[in-house]
Amino acid sequence: MHFQHSDRGLHYQERVARFLEDRVLPRAKDYFAEVHTDPTRQPPTMEAMKAEAREAGLWNMFLPGDHGTGLTNLEYAPLAEAMGKAGLWTPEVFNCNAPDTGNMEVLHMYGNAGQQDRWLKPLMAGEIRSAFLMTEPEVASSDATNIQTSIVRDGDHYVINGRKWWSTNMAHPNVAIAIVMGKTDTGAATHAQQSQVLVPTDTPGFRVERMLTVFGYDEKPIGHAEVVLDNVRVPAENLIAGEGRGFEIAQGRLGPGRIHHCMRVIGCAERALELMCERLLNRTAFKKQIAEHSVWEQRVAEARTNIEMCRLMVLKAAWMIDQAGAKNAKSEIAQIKVAAPRMALQVIDDAIQAFGGAGVSGDTPLAELYATVRTLRIADGPDEVHNRTIARLEYARHGGRPVK
């Protein structure tokens, strides 16, 4: 055991940090101006940054093995953290943004040659964007067996009917493909009813009903949609892996994906802590620097401590995925999935309090960070369900009933 990053990891950390500093952050203003002017058009600044990142080899770093840059999850973690600290819009620069990353992983692991050629290739090239349609508004999606969307075989096609929401990326100008989770056989065993199928977003019957807000933010240019699938027909070859494997694919997908979120979230917390310290050092109340008031010493200390502990946890979980696969890191992934957002929300909330009115307004990134991170206590399974998993694995060590 040791806590020194690999040379290769450090090399990438240094390069990503420099790239963010030199090429990305100075163009944030231009980028957002373009988004604001016309959110239906992919901002040229983003495309320029993407081209430079790809050129620099800082591209698809999330993909383990030889398909991306050959980094391990453990090596990728600090890079995702750096992007999270720079701003949650920056992963797209490196083609490392959710849900495209998860979709690429799914196609990489479960897609056949035709699917990979048709969809994985342009995704990895950053030419198109994708969505993942799982959550449904009418049922508690925390329990995957509740899914109501139907995928029915009809000759050479599947016909899909259902309603999905929180379909991230659906406002993206380049979105082209969605992976849709639904049930092909409601009579099968509980976890063999689901399948996943590729649905081009321009298929007739595929309709964005409305865009959702997150605490008042529309999160453009990404956006989260409510999507209606109304007798959507796709060729049978669009099915991923095979009927009844939807649950399995979802599980495989969520391991590294959850870790990526956590990495970024730790970056968000670092940013909040940095802003908070600067503020506390630069304001005076009751004749003292606010930093001198001991209640803030306690909060800053707890922020630092909790960030460090969560970072170690996410690194360990990444290492375990590298060593033994996501399945064997089930408890660790669930642990950090719950712990990281909760930690970050506390740090961000304290930072908001340190800033007062500026904290809740648009003058700092804090309120929007809070909103986004808050969704992560819900997305990809709420805290309660992950804690249930952790507890049952714990009980199993002591003779409790086995966990599926």
What residues numbered 153-172 form the site for its own copies, per CB under 8 A?
165-166
Applying CB under 8 A, among 13, 208, 392, 403 the residue interacting with its own copies is: 392
Residue 156 to residue 179: CA distance in whole angstroms: 19
Q: Applying CB under 8 A, does 268 fall inside the site for its own copies? A: no
The token pair at 235 is 């060729």
* Residues in Cβ contact with 138 at an 8 Å cutoff, skipping those fewer than 6 apart: 148, 163
Q: Residue 145 and residue 147: Cα distance in Å, rounded?
A: 6
Minimum separation from the CB atom of position 232 to its own copies (A): 22
Backbone angles phi, psi at 58, to 5 degrees: -100, 70
- 220 part of the interface to its own copies, by CB under 8 A: no
**Closer to its own copies by Cβ: residue 231 or 298:** 298
Among all chains, which residue has been given the structure tokens 């969809």?
119
- Does residue 99 have a cis bond before it (omega within 30 degrees)? yes
**CB of 242: closest distance to its own copies in angstroms?**
26
Q: Min. distance of Cβ 208 from its own copies in angstroms?
A: 15
DSSP 1: -
By the rule CB under 8 A, 174 interacts with its own copies: no
Restricting to residues 7-26, name those near its own copies by CB under 8 A. 9
Binding characters for its own copies, 31-70, by CB under 8 A (x = yes): ----------------------------------------
- Out of 155, 189, 397, 402, which residue is the one contacting its own copies (CB under 8 A)? 397
Contacting its own copies (CB under 8 A), which of 290, 346, 365, 403? 290
Going by the DSSP 8-state scheme, the letter that residue 146 receives in this structure is G
Choosing from 302, 346, 365, 403, the residue that interacts with its own copies (CB under 8 A) is 302
How many angstroms separate the Cα of 274 from the Cα of each of 29, 96, 292, 300, 307? 21, 24, 16, 10, 12
- Select from 97-105, 114-122, 206-214, 247-255 the region that touches its own copies (CB under 8 A): 206-214
Half-sphere exposure of 242 (CA within 13 A, CB side): 4
Q: How far apart, in whole angstroms, are the C-alpha atoms of residue 87 and residue 111?
A: 31
Among 22-30, 51-59, 175-183, 353-361, which window interacts with its own copies (CB under 8 A)? 353-361
Crossing angle of the two packed helices 44-55 and 28-37, in degrees rounded to 10: 140
Q: How far is the CB of 190 from its own copies (least distance, A)?
A: 10
Q: How far is the CB of 244 from its own copies (least distance, A)?
A: 21
Q: Which stretch binds its own copies (CB under 8 A): 11-19, 108-116, 195-203, 375-383?
A: 375-383
The reply on whether position 367 binds its own copies by CB under 8 A is: yes
Tokens 């970024």 belong to: 264
204 touches its own copies by CB under 8 A: no
> Judged by CB under 8 A, does residue 328 bind its own copies?
no
Whole-number Å distance between alpha carbons of 148 and 134:
10
Closest contact distance (angstroms) between CB of 33 and its own copies is: 16
Contact call for residue 402 and its own copies (CB under 8 A): no
Query: Is 362 a binder of its own copies (CB under 8 A)?
Result: yes
133 three-class SS = strand
Q: Determine, following the binding rule CB under 8 A, whether residue 346 of this chain makes contact with its own copies.
A: no
Tokens 């990728």, residue located = 76
CB of residue 178 vs its own copies: minimum separation in angstroms? 17
Q: Is 404 in the site for its own copies (CB under 8 A)?
A: no
Pair 233, 74: CB distance under 8 Å: no
Contact criterion met (CB below 8 Å) for 173 and 229: no
The distance of closest approach from Cβ of residue 316 to its own copies in the complex, given in angstroms and rounded to an integer, is 5
273 binds its own copies, rule: CB under 8 A? yes
Distance CA 182, CA 246 (A): 8
Contact 95, 59 (CB under 8 A): yes
Residue 375 has phi, psi (to 5 degrees) of -65, -25
Among 33, 109, 125, 139, binds its own copies (CB under 8 A): 139
Q: Is 305 in the site for its own copies (CB under 8 A)?
A: yes
Range 103-132, binding its own copies (CB under 8 A): none
